[in-house]
C-alpha cells in the first residue's frame, strides 16, 4: 500500500507507478534512511511523543532490517515506490502497530533531504581519500623527477625550461584545491533538515537539535521551507567534481601527448594500456582517453542539476527526485576515473633523455640569454631584440644557442663573453628559477 493511499479511491496506473518510482536510484541510501529513522524514533521517545516501548521496538526493528539487507536475507523490493516506503512497510510488517508510529512528526520531504545529505557525506570522504592518494602519487613522482629537465609550453610551443617534477606539482596544486572545495561544500551541507516536515514544520514538540547531534550534523535548518527545498549542496558538489574532472582531463591530455611518438616523454605500463585489433605495433593510452571523455558526463550531471532547480517555486517539487541520479552519477564517475588513473600514474615512467633533447631544441633558454645581457646593464627591450637576432641566426645555421660560437654572439652585442654559455645552460636556467 502507498503511504499516501488514503486520499485515493483506486490504485495508480502501473506505468504511473514505474514513472514515479525512485527505488532503483535511492535504494543505495538504505543505511542512511535507517540511520535517520533510528535517530528520529529515539527523539520521539525522548520527547514523550511515542512511548519508550514503541521507540525501542522501532529501533530494534530498524537495526534488524539493516542487518538483513546487508546479509542478503532481505531483498529490497524493486516495485516499492522508494527506499523510505520499503523500510517503513517492512518495519510495520515485522513489528506491527509500533511501526506505524515511526513517521510521526516527519515527512518524506525532510526524510529524503536528510538521507541524501548523510549519503553524500560518505561519498565526499571516499572521493577525498582518493584525491589525497592521487596528490601523494604526484608528489612522489615529482620528487623522483625533480632534476629531469623538460620544455615548458605555452600555446603548445616550447617556451622555457622546467623540470618534469615541477610540471607534475602543478597538477598536485589543482587537486589540492579540489580537496578544499569538497571540504568547503561539506561544511554547508552538514545541516540537518529533520523537523522541517513537508514544508512548515510540525505541531509535535520535537527536538531538532537532538536528531541533528545524533546524526553528526553541525546544526539544524532554521527555515523549514528552505530545509526541504534546498539542493544547493548537490550542485556545489557536482561543481567541485566537475573541476576534478577538468583537472583529470587536462592531465590526461598531457599524458596522451607525452606517450605519443611525436613527444615520447613517458612510457605507460603495459597493465594500463591497450592494443589495436589490427595494428600490432600500437600501445594506446585508453585510460587517459576514457577519463578525458568521461569529464563530459560529469559536466552533464552538473548542468542537469542546475536545470532542474532553476525554476522551482518553494517548497518541495517532484522534479527534485532527479537530484540523486545526477549527483550519484557524478561521484560514481569521478571515483571510477580515480580508481583507474592513480595506479596508471603511479607506474608511469619518464624518458629523461627525450625530454632533455626536446628542451635543447626549442630555444627555450632565449629569455635567459636576454636576462644575461640585462645583468650586464643593457635595457631589457634591447636585450630582447639582440637575442631574437641570435635565434634567427641559429635557425639559419641550423644550430642552437648553446652551439653558437662566441664571436657570433659578440657580433650582435659586444657585452657577451664566455659566461653566456653557463647562463643559457638548461640546468642553470631551471636552477636560477628555483624550480
| Catalytic (active-site) positions | 155, 276
Write the CB contacts of 21 (distance below 8 Å, at least 6 apart in sequence). 79, 80, 81, 82
Burial 386-408 (b: 16+ CB within 10 A, else e): bbeebeebbeeeeebbeebeeee
**CB-based contact 191:221 (threshold 8 Å):** yes
Write the CB contacts of 232 (distance below 8 Å, at least 6 apart in sequence). 188
For residue 211, CA distances in Å to 39, 41, 155 come to 6, 9, 55
| Coil/strand/helix, residue 274 | strand
Joined together, the cell numbers standing for residue 18 give: 514505474
Helix H or strand E segment including 151: strand 149-154
Separation between Cα atoms, residue 332 and residue 214, nearest integer Å: 28
Write the CB contacts of 245 (distance below 8 Å, at least 6 apart in sequence). 291, 294, 295, 298, 299, 333, 334, 337
Evaluated on CA atoms 37, 42, 43, 48, the torsion sign reads positive
Amino acid at each position: 500500500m502507498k503511504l499516501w493511499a488514503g486520499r485515493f479511491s483506486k490504485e495508480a496506473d502501473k506505468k504511473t507507478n514505474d514513472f514515479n518510482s525512485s527505488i532503483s536510484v535511492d535504494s543505495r541510501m538504505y543505511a542512511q534512511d535507517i540511520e535517520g529513522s533510528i535517530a528520529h524514533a529515539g527523539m520521539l521517545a525522548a520527547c514523550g511523543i511515542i512511548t519508550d516501548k514503541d521507540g525501542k521496538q522501532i529501533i530494534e526493528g530498524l537495526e534488524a532490517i539493516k542487518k538483513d539487507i546487508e546479509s542478503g536475507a532481505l531483498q529490497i523490493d524493486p516495485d516499492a515506490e522508494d527506499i523510505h516506503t520499503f523500510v517503513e512497510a517492512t518495519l510495520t510488517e515485522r513489528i506491527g502497530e509500533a511501526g506505524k508510529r515511526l513517521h510521526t512528526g516527519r515527512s518524506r520531504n525532510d526524510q529524503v533531504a536528510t538521507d541524501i545529505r548523510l549519503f553524500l557525506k560518505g561519498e565526499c570522504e571516499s572521493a577525498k581519500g582518493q584525491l589525497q592518494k592521487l596528490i601523494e602519487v604526484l608528489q612522489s613522482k615529482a620528487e623522483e623527477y625533480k632534476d629531469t629537465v623538460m620544455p615548458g609550453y605555452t600555446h603548445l610551443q616550447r617556451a622555457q625550461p622546467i623540470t618534469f617534477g615541477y610540471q607534475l606539482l602543478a597538477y598536485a596544486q589543482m587537486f589540492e584545491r579540489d580537496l578544499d572545495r569538497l571540504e568547503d561544500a561539506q561544511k554547508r551541507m552538514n545541516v540537518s533538515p529533520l523537523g522541517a516536515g513537508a514544508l512548515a514544520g510540525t505541531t509535535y514538540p520535537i527536538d531538532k537539535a537532538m536528531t541533528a547531534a545524533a546524526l553528526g550534523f553541525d546544526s539544524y535548518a532554521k527555515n523549514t521551507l528552505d530545509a526541504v527545498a534546498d539542493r544547493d549542496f548537490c550542485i556545489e558538489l557536482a561543481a567541485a567534481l566537475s573541476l576534478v574532472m577538468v583537472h583529470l582531463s587536462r592531465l590526461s591530455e598531457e599524458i596522451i601527448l607525452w606517450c605519443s611518438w611525436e613527444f615520447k616523454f613517458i612510457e605507460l605500463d603495459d597493465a594500463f594500456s591497450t592494443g589495436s585489433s589490427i595494428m600490432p605495433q600500437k600501445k594506446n593510452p585508453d585510460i587517459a582517453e576514457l577519463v578525458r571523455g568521461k569529464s563530459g558526463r560529469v559536466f552533464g550531471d552538473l548542468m542537469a542539476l542546475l536545470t532542474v532547480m532553476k525554476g522551482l517555486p518553494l517548497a518541495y517539487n517532484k522534479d527534485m527526485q532527479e537530484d540523486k541520479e545526477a549527483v550519484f552519477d557524478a561521484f560514481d564517475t569521478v571515483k571510477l576515473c580515480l580508481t583507474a588513473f592513480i595506479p596508471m600514474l603511479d607506474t608511469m615512467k619518464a624518458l629523461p633523455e627525450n625530454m632533455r633533447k626536446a628542451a635543447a631544441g626549442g630555444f627555450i633558454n632565449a629569455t635567459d640569454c636576454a636576462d644575461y645581457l640585462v645583468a650586464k646593464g643593457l635595457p631589457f627591450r634591447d636585450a630582447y631584440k639582440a637575442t631574437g637576432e641570435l635565434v634567427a641566426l641559429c635557425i639559419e645555421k641550423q644550430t642552437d644557442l648553446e652551439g653558437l660560437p662566441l664571436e657570433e654572439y659578440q657580433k650582435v652585442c659586444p657585452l657577451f663573453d664566455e659566461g653566456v654559455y653557463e647562463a643559457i645552460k638548461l640546468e642553470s636556467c631551471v636552477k636560477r628559477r628555483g624550480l
